Structure 1
Amino acid sequence: MKKILINLLVIIGMSVFLGFLFLKVYLPMYTNHGESVSVPDLSGYTYDEGVEIMERAGLKYEVSLDSGFNTDLKTYAILKQIPQANAQVKTGKTIYITLNAKNPPMLKMPNLVNTHLKNVQEILANMGLERGDIVYVPDIASNVVLEQKYRGVKITEGFEVPKGARIDLVVGDGMGNQILEVPNLKGMEEVDAEFLILGSSLRVGSKHYVDTDSVGAGKILRQSPSANTKVKTGEIVDIWIAKDNF
C-alpha cells in the first residue's frame, strides 16, 4: 500500500510539473504570448510599398478579391485594410488589403434634364461623378438643366460613363421669352453655322450627315426650324450636313 501511495504521489507530481511546463513555457513560445505589434496605416500606399511595410512589421498579408476605385489614388494603391491601422495584433497576423482598381467601374448616367441645378450636385456626388462646366443659354427655365454632356458629347439617361467622370451641363438662364428669327444656315460650313446658331441665342440640336452631290462636304443642306421662322431664345435648331465620302 505504501508503494502504491508513493507511486501515485510521483505521478501526480510529474503531471503538475509537465502541466506547468506546458502552460508557462511551451504554450507562450508557440503562440508568441506577449509579442504583439501595432498594425501600420497602409492607406494610400502602393501595393509594393504596403508589402514592404508589413514585412518589416513581421505581418503577413492577403489581397482581397474585392476592389474599389478612387480617382485621386494610383492604380493598385491600398484602399482598405483589416484589421484597421493601430490595432494590436500578434506577430505573423494576416492583414487583408483592398486595392484600387486599374480601370474605373462603369456607371449608367442618370437623367439630369429638367432637374434644378441645386439638386444636381448631390445626385452626381452620390453616384461618384463630378460636376464639370456649366454653360448658361437663353431659356425660360431658370437654373434648370437642359442638356448633359460628357467630353463635349450630349448624352442621355443610361449612357455608360466611368466613375469619377466630369459631366458638363447646359443650363437655362431664365431669359427665354424674347422672340427672334432663325438665321439662314443653308450653304454655310458646319463650324460657321454652329457659331451663328449660338450667337443668335439659339441651341444646336441634332446633326444629320447625308450623302449628296449638290454642295460640298461639310456644308449645311437644310435646317429645322427653317430660316426666318419666329422662335423664342434657346430654341433648338437641327441641321443636315453634306457628308464627306472620302
Structure 2
Amino acid sequence: MATRPLRLYRISFSMVSKSTPHNRTMKLNRPFLKLIVLHLSLMAVVGSCVLFLFFNFLLPVLTHHGQFITVPNLQGISLEEVDAYLAQRNLRFEVTEEFSYEPDYPPMTVLQQYPKAGARVKEGRKIYLTLNTKTPPKVKMPDLVDGSVRNAHVRLKSHGLLLGAIKYVPDIAQNAVLEQWHQGREIATGTLIAQGARIDLVVGAGLGNQMVEVPQVVGMKLADAKPVLLSVGIQAGNISYESATDQAPGTILRQHPDAGQQVRIGDNVDVWLAARQEEETVIPDAPMLPEN
C-alpha cells in the first residue's frame, strides 16, 4: 500500500495575533478602567481633605479640644457640697464602693479623689471619690503591757488608735506600761475596738522620786515632741499659741521647764506653739485617769 508523503504545514504568526472578541472587549474597557482609577483617586483626595478638616477643625470645636480644667482639691468637703462645687466647674463625680476611715474628718467627707487635685482634665470629666465612712471599722487592741511608752505610742498609731492620758504610779518597772485602759475600764489584748479610739495607760514611775532630764523639743512639731518626752517618762502639759511670723504654724517656740533641767518622772512640760494670726488660745491638760 502506497504511503502518502508527509506534509508540513507552516503556521503563520499572523493567525495567532488575529483579533478575537475577547481582545476587542479588553481594548474597549481600557478607557473605562482609566476613568474608574481617576474617580477613585479623586475620592481619596476628597476623603483625605474631609478627614483633615474634621479632625483639625470640627472635632476640636465639638470636644473643646485644648480647653482644660484644673481639678480642685476636694479633700475634707462633704458629699452635699461636692455636687454644687463640681457643677460650677463643669465636672462630674462618682463615689467609689471603697470607704476609708479617718478620725480627723467628719463622716461622709471626701478622703481621696482621682484624678488628684491639680490635674488638668477636659470639661465633663468624672472625678472618683472615696468617702469617710460613718462607722469606724473595728481593730484588735494590741498588747502594750510591759513595753515602753514610746513603743506603745508607735503600736497604737499602727493600729489606727490614739494615745490618751498617762498615769504614772510608783513601780520598779520604770517607764513601762503596766495597764491599758479605754473609757475608764481596763481593756484586754485582742478586744475589738473602734478605730480612732483613745487608749489611756498606767505607767511605772520607778521607786521613789526619781528625776529625769528634760529633753529639747523647741523647733519640733508637737506630734514629734510627744514621743521624745514620753521616752524619758514625762509628757506634754499645757499647750499655748503665740504669734510668730518666722516659724511655721504648729512649731514649738519655747518650753517650760527648759531643756536640761531635772524633773520627776510623770511631770509635764508646757509648750508654746507658733499660731496663725487668728489663733490665741490655751488648751487645757488632757484628763488623767481617776485615782483608784
TM range (shorter): 0.5 to 0.7
Q: Which amino acid aligns with 1:89?
A: V
Residue among 137, 140, 159 paired with 1:108: 140
TM-score, normalising length from structure 1?
Answer: 0.67
Say which SS state the counterpart of residue 133 (structure 1) adopts: strand
Structure 1: distance between partners of 2:140 and 2:41: 79
What SS does the aligned partner of 2:179 have?
strand
SS in 1 for 2:84: helix
Q: Cα distance 1:154–1:8, how it changes in 2: closer, same or farther (>3 A)?
A: closer
Identity in percent: 41
The equivalent position to 1:92 in structure 2, one of 99, 119, 124, is: 124
Please tell me the residue identity of whatever aligns with 2:96. S
The correspondence for 1:10, drawn from 18, 34, 42, is 42
3-state SS in 1 of match to 2:157: helix
Q: How many Å separate the matches in 2 of 1:61 and 1:51?
A: 7
Q: Which amino acid is the alignment partner of residue 27 of structure 1?
A: L
Task: Select which of 142, 161, 172 maps to 1:129.
Answer: 161
Question: Does residue 83 in structure 1 map to residue 120 in structure 2?
Answer: no
In structure 2, the gaps of 5 or more residues are 1-30, 209-292
Give the Cα separation in 2 of the matches to 1:174 and 1:132.
21
Runs (4+) off by over 4 Å: 2-6
Match of 1:241 in 2: none
Equivalences, count:
176
Amino acid at match of 2:99: S
Equivalent in the alignment of 2:271: none
Judged with a 3 Å threshold, the aligned counterparts in structure 2 of structure 1 residues 4 and 149 are, in CA distance, closer, same or farther, namely closer
SS of 2:55's partner is helix
Q: Higher strand fraction: Structure 1 or Structure 2? A: 1
Question: Secondary structure of the residue that 1:24 maps to in structure 2?
Answer: helix
Deviation at 1:62, TM superposition (A): 0.8
Q: Deviations over 1:57-99 (max 9, x none)?
A: 1112110111111112111010000000010011111110000
Aligned to 2:82: 50
Aligned CA distance change for structure 1 residues 34 and 174 (closer, same or farther; 3 Å): same
**How big is each residue's C-alpha offset from its partner over 1:27-66, in whole Å with a ceiling of 9 and x where there is no partner?**
3244331121111110111111122111111112110111
TM-score normalised to structure 2 length: 0.57
Deviation at residue 119 of structure 1 after TM alignment: 1.3
